[in-house]
């Protein structure tokens, strides 16, 4: 839920990166952290296991400048992708303003992508959100992998509401900012409508 | 979005700030934070510069959410209080109303009993303000005729500027 503080003239928005295990959610926000101006970015907090798999969440606050005199700050979260962390995923979706679904382009991961979108829809619903209407972006990550499925095939399988679909190689930063921007745009437009 | 946005105006913000400043003094604590359940800092008092407040807010909300999950697993609605004891500093976390989290950081110059006592009173006062904010949010979601949002004219250009295009 967007938190608008008129006293300090701040808008805070929460964006959640969602997707199956090892699809590159953490890589997305790590890249943003590395590239962001140190004055604009906060500390990247990662609650990870010893093998660097996300245990609870990663968190990155980003100050983006001002809109209509209000300082805009995005709070980026990732969820743990592994199937058994479902309770954590549900908790992290609380009060989110927008979701970025990071799909793994590798053909053997297509079933995991589909299951993860279904899981996202259920967990959003349990938090009072509707996946069909909330700010949402589909990122096709790992486009550089030799086993990557064709874009059209992924679109048919994963795209369901004409949402922005962005090709990415998060490890190299390709498409990372475009994805964030597409989500931010929808959130701010939503703010305009409400 | 699922619920109306949380909008805080000057008067409410000052009232919240006054309550937590008083709590910080009365409980002889180092820092007091008021955090939203979604992980955003609302107000702070004390030596806030010594702490990464944004991370603290996000992790506190995560902690409370996880504890909520634990409560439900054993059939409780929620655990309204969390206490973490450190070597020097302690963390007292309590839920205020439906959406606030009050975080008090204190050392041996105070005591758990004093903090609990003062937090109880402050929570009641904070809850009153939260209820006002909530009531106004609900009223404004049904009647927007008297309120003109400054965001009604956000343009594509405004958004592009945020990303340095």
Most confident of A43-57, B2-16, B97-111: B97-111
Band of the pLDDT at B160, cuts 50, 70, 90? confident
| Average pLDDT score, chain A | 94
Give how far B111 is from chain A: nearest CA, Å. 30
Among the partner residues A4, A14, A128, nearest to B3 by beta-carbon distance: A128
- Mean pLDDT value of segment A136-151: 98
Look at residue A186 in the predicted model and tell me its pLDDT: 94
Domains of chain B: 10-147 (3.30.450.30)
Q: Place B147 in a pLDDT band, splitting at 50, 70 and 90.
A: low
Chain A residues within an 8 Å CB radius of B65: 91-92, 94
pLDDT value for A191: 84
Q: Is A137 on the interface with B (CB under 8 A)?
A: no
pLDDT (0 to 100) of residue A192: 81
**Chain B hits for A132, Cβ within 8 Å:** none
The mean pLDDT of A88-114, rounded to a whole number, is 96
CA A57 to each of CA A46, A52, A53, A106, A182: distance values in angstroms, whole numbers, following the listed order: 6, 11, 10, 24, 22
- The candidate with the shortest Cα–Cα distance to A57, out of B62, B129, B111, is B62
Average pLDDT over residues B61-66: 92
pTM (two decimals): 0.91
Decide: helix, strand or coil at residue B93.
strand
Sequence spans of domains, chain A? 3-193
First to last CA, chain B: 28
| Helices and strands, number each (H, E), in chain A | 5, 8
Contact B58 A75 (CB under 8 A): yes
Q: How far apart are CA B165 and CA B157, in angstroms?
A: 9
Contact criterion met (CB < 8 Å) for A92 and B154: no
- What are the chain A neighbours of B6 within 8 Å (beta carbons)? 1-4
Q: Give the 3-state secondary structure of residue B101.
A: strand
pLDDT at B5: 67
CATH class label, A3-193: alpha beta
Any B CB within 8 A of A88 CB:
yes
The pLDDT of residue B2 is above 50 = no
Instruction: State in Å, rounded, how far the first CA of chain A is from the last one.
Output: 12
Give the per-residue pLDDT at B146: 53
Q: Which residues of B85-114 are buried (b: 16+ CB within 10 A; e: fewer)?
A: eeeeebbbbbbbbebbbbbbbbeeebeeee
pLDDT at position B1 over 50? no
User: Where residue B154 falls among pLDDT bands split at 50, 70, 90?
Assistant: confident
Please, what is the average pLDDT of chain B? 88
Task: For an interface test with A, give the residue of B1, B60, B62, B150 to mutate (most A CBs within 10 A).
Answer: B1
pLDDT reported for residue B7 = 84
Any chain A CB within 8 A of the CB of B66?
yes
């Amino acid at each position: 839920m967007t938190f608008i503080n008129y006293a300090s003239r701040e808008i805070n928005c929460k964006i959640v990166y969602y997707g199956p295990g090892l699809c590159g959610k953490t890589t997305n926000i790590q890249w943003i952290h590395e590239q962001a101006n140190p004055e604009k970015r906060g500390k990247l907090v990662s609650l990870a296991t010893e093998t660097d798999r996300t245990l609870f969440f990663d968190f990155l606050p980003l100050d983006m400048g001002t809109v209509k005199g209000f300082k805009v700050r995005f709070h980026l979260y990732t969820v743990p992708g592994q199937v058994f962390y479902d309770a954590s995923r549900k908790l992290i979706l609380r009060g989110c303003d927008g979701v970025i679904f990071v799909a793994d382009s590798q053909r053997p991961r297509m079933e995991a992508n589909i299951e993860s979108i279904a899981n996202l829809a259920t967990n959003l619903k349990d938090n009072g959100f509707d996946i069909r209407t909330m700010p949402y972006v589909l990122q096709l990550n790992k486009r550089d992998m030799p086993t990557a499925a064709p874009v059209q095939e992924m679109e048919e399988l994963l795209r369901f509401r004409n949402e922005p679909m962005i090709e990415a190689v998060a490890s190299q930063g390709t498409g990372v900012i475009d994805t964030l921007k597409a989500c931010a745009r929808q959130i701010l437009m939503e703010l305009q409508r409400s | 979005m699922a619920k109306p946005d949380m909008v805080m105006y000057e008067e409410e913000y000052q009232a919240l700030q006054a309550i937590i400043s008083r709590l910080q003094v009365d409980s002889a604590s180092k820092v007091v934070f008021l955090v939203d359940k979604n992980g955003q800092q609302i107000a702070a008092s004390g030596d806030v510069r010594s702490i990464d407040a944004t991370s603290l807010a996000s992790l506190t909300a995560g902690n409370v959410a996880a504890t909520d999950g634990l409560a439900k697993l054993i059939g409780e609605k929620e655990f309204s209080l969390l206490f973490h004891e450190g070597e020097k500093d302690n963390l007292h976390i309590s839920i205020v109303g439906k959406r606030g989290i009050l975080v008090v950081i204190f050392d041996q110059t105070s005591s758990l009993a004093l903090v609990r006592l003062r937090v109880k009173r402050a929570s009641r006062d904070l809850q009153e303000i939260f209820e006002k904010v909530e009531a106004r949010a609900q009223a404004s979601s049904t009647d927007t005729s008297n309120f003109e949002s400054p965001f009604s004219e956000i343009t594509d250009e405004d958004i592009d500027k945020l990303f340095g295009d």
